[in-house]
Amino acid sequence: MNRRLSSNYCTTVCQKSGVEVLRDFSWSAKLVEHTNLLWKN
């Protein structure tokens, strides 16, 4: 595996995992918001 290929691979994997982390984060943020609303009522 040459260096350019491996760096491209890393970039792709990092971007994919970053998107998934962001998705999980926004989902958990929504969940927290929802829970806070339930507690207030």
Q: Which domain holds residue 37?
A: 1-41
- The Cα 27–Cα 20 span in angstroms is 10
Backbone angles phi, psi at 40, to 5 degrees: -70, -35
pTM above 0.85, yes or no: no
Helix or strand or coil: residue 2? coil
* pLDDT at residue 1, as a whole number: 57
Give the H or E element holding residue 1.
none
Q: State the total domains in the chain.
A: 1
The runs of H, that is alpha helices, within 1-41 are 3-40
For the segment 1-41, what is each residue's pLDDT rounded down to a tens digit? 577 877 888 788 878 888 888 888 889 999 999 998 888 87
